[in-house]
Structure 1
Amino acid sequence: MNSLLLAFQFFTVVPIQKSLPMEKRHITGMYSFFPWIGAVIGSIACLPIYFDWSSLMTAFAVVSLGILLSGGLHMDGFIDTSDAYFSYREQAKRMEILDDPRVGAFGVMATVLLIVGKIIIISEVLSAESFHFLFIIIIPFLSRVVLVILFGMTENAKESGLAHFFKQKLHVQTIIPLTASFLFIAICLIGLMTYWLIAMTLLIVLILFICIYRSWSLKNFGGITGDLLGASLELTEVILWITLLLLLS
């Protein structure tokens, strides 16, 4: 129960006003619940599809709920990562930019493109004849699965911050196989409820993204940070929506 409360406390706007233990088993448990937090957010984000709105308005509501319910935590990481990477500076300077609380022009431009692009892509997917409400639930789930796998498989870029603290408390040998089993369950569910072509394509895309993003993080930042993990979640969702658009169109 403490692990579940920690997951809601750190990764959502749910006001858990309680001091909770953060030992190794609690942090490991927190990350094991993390993908399911995504499924809860996705389930709530499904509500707009039952209103008689245009696909564009529905997509706007879906994206807005995802940002609001997570407290904009991962979007903040995407902003900082964009500022750092598009500065085209050396690695040490990029790390300084990641730690800078100020938002730069690159972060703003990248975030506007991300949000507008996501709304348009989701709008198109909603209009497809083969659209299934499961997609809205499963994509936030899968994006968090990817985040946990990246976190467990990639060394930290710095020895400070929340990501470093959590990594010291995380039992990697437990969380990686467990999260991989969640991925298997999700892919099977997609195959059974929609089409196996969609399920297997999404699986391939996710595996490729994990490999590419991990390599990119190591090359450009020397490892992973909380901001880079947040950016990975946002990028995973966009890539999965684009994949669905290509498959359903």
Structure 2
Amino acid sequence: MSRIWNSFKIAFSMYSRIPMPKSEWTEENISYAMCFFPLVGGVIGAITYGLFVLKGVAASQGVLFSDLFWTILLLLVPIAITGGIHMDGFLDTQDAVSSYQPREKRLEILKDSHAGAFAIISCAVYLLAYLGIYSSLTIRSVTVIAWSFLLSRSLSGLSVITFPQARKEGMAATFSQNAAKKASKRVLLIYVAIICSSMVLTGKILGIVAIVTAGLVFWYYYRMAMSKFGGITGDLAGYFLQMCELLMAASVVIVDVIVKGLAV
């Protein structure tokens, strides 16, 4: 039981800024960390949904902040909870992929702590894209998007323990090597099944669209990681997570707008 509790603390202390009691980083304590990684997404999803509901409650009480105010708040929730750890991986990957260098050089760029021009441009484009997407949220679309934060992390966790590793060292390799792989894989697959069912039940066509989008991004992530890097790293897992969340949100909002337009 203590091993499971320590794995929980490690998952949250590593992948979020939520205060956690200290836990020793041993092979035993890390073994189930991936089982709890998606729960960080649960916190993000709950806060995102809650903020959107709060927006409506505030408006009904005459507290009229601008739509831009609420949109930016929603945009900042994942970064505030995670500390930007996955965004860092996304930006490093953008620099590496955009360098058009040989595989070994791309892996070196992933480890470089300096942000290149492509990372800065990608960050600006990413945040602006999210700003546009979140400006058209409805209660129906935000419900599905709230679930998407769990789905992206469940798939990212599966990739860490099942995909080939590009390096023998690094955070992804550490979690992969020390994971209780069979148990963790089962738990993550159960998460995926429950989350996908919940998305369809709460969002119907929007839930299906989000699931299909996530599957396509997951397939692209595997192909890209294997062809350009020879496997995955922690940065690539972060890249996948950010892209998966962005594209799920985009597809859900676009379909929601289209469906509402057709119903008029």
Q: Is the TM-score greater than 0.5?
A: yes
Asked whether 1:182 is paired with 2:191, we answer yes
From 190, 194, 198, the equivalent of 2:203 is 194
State the percentage of identical aligned residues: 28
The letter for the 2-side match of 1:105 is A
8 A Cα contact 1:7 1:31, kept in partner: yes
From 1, 7, 11, the equivalent of 2:11 is 7
Correspondences of 1:7-46 after superposition (within 5 Å): 7-24=11-28, 26-46=29-49
Q: Shift of the alpha carbon at 1:168?
A: 0.7
**Deviates further, 48-57 or 136-145:** 48-57
Give secondary structure in 2 for the equivalent of 1:131: helix
The letter for the 1-side match of 2:81 is L
**In 2, distance between residues paired with 1:132 and 1:67?**
20
Q: CA RMSD in A?
A: 1.7
Q: Shift of the alpha carbon at 1:136?
A: 4.1
Aligned to 2:91: 79
Asked whether 1:99 is paired with 2:111, we answer yes
8 A Cα contact 2:95 2:119, kept in partner: yes
Q: Which deviations, in whole Å up to 9, do the C-alpha atoms of 1:52-111 show, x marking residues without a partner?
A: 444433221112121011011001111111111101111111111111111110000001
Aligned to 1:205: 213
- Cα separation, partners in 2 of 1:95 and 1:21, compared to 1, 3 Å: closer
**In 2, distance between residues paired with 1:131 and 1:59?**
16
**In 2, distance between residues paired with 1:192 and 1:41?**
20
**In 2, distance between residues paired with 1:110 and 1:132?**
25
How many correspondences in the alignment?
A: 244
Asked whether 1:89 is paired with 2:93, we answer no
Q: Which deviations, in whole Å up to 9, do the C-alpha atoms of 1:122-165 show, x marking residues without a partner?
A: 212x1x4x635423421211110121122122111011111111
Larger-Rg structure: 2
8 A Cα contact 1:94 1:221, kept in partner: yes
Correspondences of 1:1-249 after superposition (within 5 Å): 1-24=5-28, 26-49=29-52, 50-51=54-55, 52=59, 53-124=65-136, 126=137, 128=138, 131-195=140-204, 197-249=205-257
Q: Shift of the alpha carbon at 1:189?
A: 1.2
What TM-score comes out, normalization by structure 2 length?
0.86
- Cα separation, partners in 2 of 1:17 and 1:192, compared to 1, 3 Å: closer
**In 2, distance between residues paired with 1:11 and 1:147?**
12
The letter for the 1-side match of 2:38 is P
User: Unaligned stretches of 5+ in structure 1?
Assistant: none
**In 1, distance between residues paired with 2:184 and 2:166?**
20
8 A Cα contact 1:157 1:222, kept in partner: yes
User: Unaligned stretches of 5+ in structure 2?
Assistant: 60-64, 258-264
8 A Cα contact 2:226 2:232, kept in partner: yes
8 A Cα contact 1:144 1:233, kept in partner: yes
8 A Cα contact 1:151 1:224, kept in partner: yes
**In 1, distance between residues paired with 2:114 and 2:186?**
37
Q: Which deviations, in whole Å up to 9, do the C-alpha atoms of 1:31-66 show, x marking residues without a partner?
A: 111111111122123343213444433221112121
